[in-house]
Structure 1
Amino acid sequence: MTHVDAHATLPRSLTRPPVELELVIPAFNERERLPATVAGALRFLARRPWSSAVVVVDNNSVDGTPDCLDRFAASAMGRSVGLHVIGCGDRGKGAAVRRGIETSAARYVGYADADNATPIETLDPVMALLRAGHGAVIASRHAPGAHLTVEQPRLRRGGGAVFRALARLTLPDVADTQCGFKFFPGPLAREIVHDCHVDGFAFDVELLARVVKAGHDVVEVPVDWTDQEGSTFSARRDGLRSMTDLLRISLTR
């Protein structure tokens, strides 16, 4: 397992070895949930035919999040799937995801939430669609065939409905922009993140809007999704900012 200074800017010479797929996991104070998510991802990827790596991006955690992964270092010898821990000094999930993508050299790259709400097995259809040439392949809780094993609380569902309505101003053909499981061809992702600036929870919309603006499509994969406790999203703290970001994205697309 490799560690990189959270305040360092990674030069190209220090980027990770190229693999076919990199799974980026942004993490802010995820000491409790992250180990199980990483362990499950490593087990799954080790059984797949493509070369791969898991990249945890620590977003200024104060609970010792990077340290909770030290136990994986003991089993690093002989492991077919790489595990890397890097830092992101800029606050916000969007900043952490961009850091993971821009430092990647993988053929395909994407991100998943640390809470493991979307089953890692979703990567099987995702990889098939990426190899077929699609520009973005994303998990969706609202596409036909999706199933919510455990739903969000009612207040979160109401806020989510308002968010989706505003997101459709920019992405009218995408049913679910906010499910935290999105993957892209590596060269395309690395190109578009340089034009992305939203650090908050609307960053997914900005990223997908850039994919579409570049002339590529977005494909949704229905998932069995389970709401997990411990979300860092606060309606009071993040709601207004997210809505403002959505309106700004819709005006600049």
Structure 2
Amino acid sequence: MQISGHPRVEIVVPVKNEENDLGPNIRRLREFLDTAFPFPAEVCIADNGSTDATYEIGALLSAELPGVRIVRLEQSGRGRALKKVWSESTADVLAYMDVDLSTNLNALLPLVAPLFAGHSDVAIGTRLSNGSRVVRRPKREFISRGYNLLLRATLSAHFSDAQCGFKAIRADVARQLLPLIEDNSWFFDTELLVLAEKAGLRVHEVPVDWVDDLDSRVKIAKTIDEDLRGIARLMKNLGRGAIPLEPIRQAFGRPRILDPRTALAARVLRFGAIGVLSTTAYALLYLVLRQGMPAQVANVLSLLITAVGNTALNRRITFGVQGVENRWRHQLRGLVTFGIGWSLTASSLWLLHTATSSPHQAVEITVLTIANLAATVVRFSFFQAWVFDDDKPTIPTLEPPAVLEHSRSN
């Protein structure tokens, strides 16, 4: 197969000390691309730090097979290899797969098709969906599922399988994302996907058939340590707004098509959950402070501290405001809103005692409950319409990229 013009797809195969598997698997991949794949495609062997005959074998394959090339990096690291090849590629869509070809190659077209169609920006294979068929050791399965659950809990990730060695990305998107990715090793995949999601890009998932490589050389303990450090770094940088995602959001961001009622319901649920947490924190803090100060002082301090925490959590979780810009303005507005809500409960209690000198305790509790519900509605309304109003996101729509026509001849 001869590639006419530049390849529509470039598939990178990162390798290190793979002299046994490299030859047969690259021939198998090239044969599949020539006979069963509709787009012109090039294979790039990215040798990163091999000390055996991997590079020599790759060079022979490059000379023997049209549409195969090799790149040599002296330093190891899958992320480092992908950064180099993807940043220099002339293809429209960039992909990578593991040299063991654990993923069934029939999943390659479903992986890249949404990128050509303009439907998605990044595509990944997933071994953890209901449609996947996986042959895998229980230990690896447990670690993989646990890791992806951790990503959901810490980074609010929505993708299901961060580390599957089967991914693709539009070249124009890669040029924007790659400079922001710090990791050069195994955490590269996770960082790529998290930043893509945070920038509002579409991540398409393809269920894959997967057979685990029994000769895998991944050092699990070291990889877990690096992944945990990477998660902590991303949480810190995203929380500080230190990663410049706004230009990508402006260029490629696509609005989520949501029913406004569903979005509002989700926001109300998050607001309510934070309210329960704040109330619990208030009660515990009051009990501690009450040991050394009068009730009214302990009450005011507990309310003030939890109000600050409540505003900070709602700012980040309920309304999705990131970075430090306007943080103090939001806190001041939050305190004003809290004061308005508190005045409703205080005035209701005062009116009750004015009307009845000794109201029954059940009546008092009923009045306070109604007043607190009203205060909660007021606080939510103020948060929605005023406190965080200056940070409403604006994600422009973007016409899908045109799919250029390329010819191929055999």
Query: What one-letter code is carried by the residue in structure 2 that aligns with 1:49?
Result: P
Higher RCO, Cα 8 Å, sep 6+? 1
Cα distance in 1 for partners of 2:91, 2:127 equals 27
- Indicate which of 134, 137, 143 corresponds to 1:159: 143
Q: Does 1:33 align with 2:21?
A: yes
Cα distance in 1 for partners of 2:163, 2:62 equals 32
Q: Show the counterpart of 1:5.
A: none
Q: Secondary structure at the match of 2:155?
A: coil
Cα distance in 2 for partners of 1:72, 1:92 equals 22
Q: What pairs with 1:1-253 in structure 2 (closer than 5 Å)?
A: 18-47=6-35, 48-73=37-62, 75-76=64-65, 79=66, 82-133=67-118, 134-148=120-134, 150-152=135-137, 154-168=138-152, 169-253=154-238
Decide whether the 8 Å contact of 2:96 with 2:167 is kept in 1.
Answer: yes
Superposition CA RMSD, Å: 1.8
Under a length normalisation based on structure 2, what TM-score does the superposition of the two structures give?
0.54
Q: Report the CA distance shift for 1:34/1:170 in structure 2 as closer, same or farther (over 3 A).
A: farther
More strand by share: 1
Cα distance in 1 for partners of 2:74, 2:155 equals 29
Decide whether the 8 Å contact of 2:131 with 2:208 is kept in 1.
Answer: yes
Q: How far is 1:220 from its partner?
A: 0.7
Q: How far is 1:238 from its partner?
A: 2.4
Decide whether the 8 Å contact of 2:123 with 2:169 is kept in 1.
Answer: yes
Cα distance in 1 for partners of 2:19, 2:123 equals 28
Q: Show the counterpart of 2:355.
A: none
Cα distance in 1 for partners of 2:54, 2:74 equals 14
Decide whether the 8 Å contact of 1:94 with 1:203 is kept in 2.
Answer: yes
Cα distance in 1 for partners of 2:64, 2:56 equals 15
Q: Secondary structure at the match of 2:124?
A: strand
Decide whether the 8 Å contact of 1:22 with 1:108 is kept in 2.
Answer: yes
Decide whether the 8 Å contact of 1:18 with 1:104 is kept in 2.
Answer: no
Structure 2: runs of 5+ lacking an equivalent? 239-410
Under a length normalisation based on structure 1, what TM-score does the superposition of the two structures give?
0.85
Q: How far is 1:241 from its partner?
A: 1.7
Q: After TM superposition, where is structure 1 displaced by more than 3 Å over at least 4 residues in a row?
A: 73-76
Structure 1: runs of 5+ lacking an equivalent? 1-16
Q: Deviations over 1:54-96 (max 9, x none)?
A: 00111110011111234434534xx4xx111002233211111
Decide whether the 8 Å contact of 1:137 with 1:184 is kept in 2.
Answer: yes
More helix by share: 2
Query: What one-letter code is carried by the residue in structure 1 that aligns with 2:51?
Result: V
Q: Provide the aligned length of Structure 1 versus Structure 2.
A: 231
Q: Secondary structure at the match of 1:142?
A: coil
Query: What one-letter code is carried by the residue in structure 2 that aligns with 1:22?
Result: E
